[in-house]
Amino acid sequence: MSSNTEAPGSLRRKDVRPFGWRDKIGYAAGDLANDMTFMIQAFFMTVYFVKVIGIDPLHIGALVAAVRVLDAFTDVGMGMIVDRMKPAFDGKFKPWIRRMAVPVALSSALLFQPFIVNWSYGAKLAWMVIFYILWGSVFYTAINIPYGSMASVISDKAEHRAELSVWRSTGAQIAFLAVSASLPALVFEGSQINAQRFGWAAIAMAVLAVFFYAILYFNVEERVVVPRKTKSEGGLSIGQLLGSLVTNRALLAIVAAALLLLLGNLFNGQVASFLYLDYFGNGQLQSLAQVVSILPAFLLVFITAPLVKRYGKTELGIAGVALYTVAMLLNYFLHPPFAVFLALLTVATFGLSIFNFLIWAFIVDVIDYQEVRSGSATTAPSTPSTPGPASSVRRVPRCWAASGCRPSATRRRPRSSPPRPSTASGRCSTSSPRCSCWPPC
């Protein structure tokens, strides 16, 4: 779309200020808030519940897989609720930020409290199941679905939406840097985890989430009025909606790309803590690795727009994914020492960031395309809450358990060279005193 293109069928509100920096900063704060709770779940949940609480990793994998399947339905349901509910005084999507900010933060903080460590196994398992479902399938879905769709009503101009995509990704990168760099340094002690610090860190992240949601709520304005349609007024039924979506080639392409990329990224995120704790022998190396690898990605804030103008969004996104894939495959097959591993991780992170900086611009374009095809706008899906990533997070505990590694059996490795599997099958021997597989599965 050209820079002057407007979304189809949009009606502008005349009583709000023009689009500007407050909207950009506010929208970036929204993903900062989301990731204050999402990243601790995505990257540290398995290692925390295995090493601190003592939950069987297979049970964690089964829970995460089941919840991701459940999310496939709650995402669609939440989208339809948002589409069909009458807008409130503060808009169509902003009310959900106001309603869900505290519940999503509180459920995340409670999930990681270590006072349950001496409970019976059944009670600990029930606590994990209840609060993980409340956080992910209920509260996170109820706030992330409206937030993801909000860009389509902040402005009807294509260049503004592209800027919002960049700023949203910037917020996500800042959150990733803050969480992945600070949390390991605070809670990891060599190859061990400080449970009390982890609990306090979860509370601090929850408070920050509410703070950043408030920045989003008070700085973003909804300028585009999307008429509410019921089925009798020409709105689509669930069957019609799903039928229309499965024939949308643009939507299917972006969903397939996002799912495959997210599957690999979540798998890497789940095993990362085990990699630094059990393979490199020092969990605090994770902080160093995340800071060094993510910093170059902030250059994209300044160069994404000119690169898109010169090469196009699609071409740039493909190039970023290709760079990420090559660098990660080299790390997988070379078994490098930490310095080389870190260099390749930095290249991979930069490539992935290119795609992430553009993904929401792609999704908003797809929403507009769907409206042109069907005459009905569709609320954007929540990218992490899909069945696809379930297979990645399900495989992490399953493969880790099958490797023969146990929380009490891990220790710092004195060897500087990458170890080899202890059996011909490529898996760790169950009698191995430490986890010695590269990669972890």
Q: What is the pLDDT of residues 84-143, one digit of tens each?
A: 888 888 888 999 999 999 999 999 999 999 999 999 999 999 999 999 999 999 999 999
The CA distances from residue 339 to 267, 288, 290, in Å, are 22, 11, 13
Q: What is the pLDDT of residues 393-441, one digit of tens each?
A: 444 444 444 444 444 433 333 334 334 333 333 333 333 333 333 333 3
Q: Is the pLDDT of residue 260 over 80?
A: no
Query: From the CA atom positions of the chain, what is the Rg in Å?
Result: 22
Contact 55, 49 (CB under 8 A): yes
Q: Which residue has the higher pLDDT, 300 or 350?
A: 350
- Buried/exposed code over 243-259 (b: 16+ C-beta within 10 A; e: otherwise): ebbeebebbeebbebbb
Q: For residue 162, what pLDDT band results from cuts at 50, 70 and 90?
A: confident
Q: What is the model's pLDDT at position 181? A: 80
Q: What is the pLDDT of residues 308-361, one digit of tens each?
A: 888 888 889 889 989 998 998 999 899 899 999 999 999 998 998 888 878 777
In whole angstroms, what is the distance from residue 44 CA to residue 112 CA?
Answer: 10
- Residue 425, Cβ neighbours under 10 Å: how many? 8
Q: What is the model's pLDDT at position 183? A: 87
Structure tokens at 150: 């909000």
Contact 363, 148 (CB under 8 A): yes
| Residue 91: strand, helix, or coil | strand
Average pLDDT over residues 66-71: 85
In whole angstroms, what is the distance from residue 305 CA to residue 159 CA?
Answer: 10
Q: What is the model's pLDDT at position 100? A: 95
Nearest to 36 by CA among 185, 176, 230: 176
Average pLDDT over residues 299-303: 83
Which residues are paired to 188 by β-bridges? 193
Q: Which residue has the higher pLDDT, 300 or 115?
A: 115
Q: For residue 231, what pLDDT band results from cuts at 50, 70 and 90?
A: low
- Residue 434, Cβ neighbours under 10 Å: how many? 20
Q: For residue 217, what pLDDT band results from cuts at 50, 70 and 90?
A: very high
Q: Is the pLDDT of residue 208 over 90?
A: yes
Q: For residue 151, what pLDDT band results from cuts at 50, 70 and 90?
A: confident
In whole angstroms, what is the distance from residue 365 CA to residue 347 CA?
Answer: 28
Q: For residue 291, what pLDDT band results from cuts at 50, 70 and 90?
A: confident
Angle, vertex CA 318, rays to CA 73 and CA 360, nearest 5: 45
Contact 206, 198 (CB under 8 A): no
Which residues are paired to 189 by β-bridges? 192
Residue identified by tokens 């499965």 is 246
Q: Is the pLDDT of residue 31 over 80?
A: yes
Percent of the chain with pLDDT over 70: 75
Measured in degrees and rounded to the nearest 5, phi and psi for residue 224 equal -100, 125
In whole angstroms, what is the distance from residue 398 CA to residue 391 CA?
Answer: 11
Q: Is the pLDDT of residue 382 over 50?
A: no
Percent of the chain with pLDDT over 90: 29
Burial class (CB in 10 A: 0-12, 13-18, 19+), 292: middle
Nearest to 152 by CA among 312, 304, 8: 8
Q: What is the model's pLDDT at position 212? A: 97
Q: For residue 76, what pLDDT band results from cuts at 50, 70 and 90?
A: confident
Q: What is the model's pLDDT at position 254? A: 76
Q: What is the model's pLDDT at position 11? A: 55
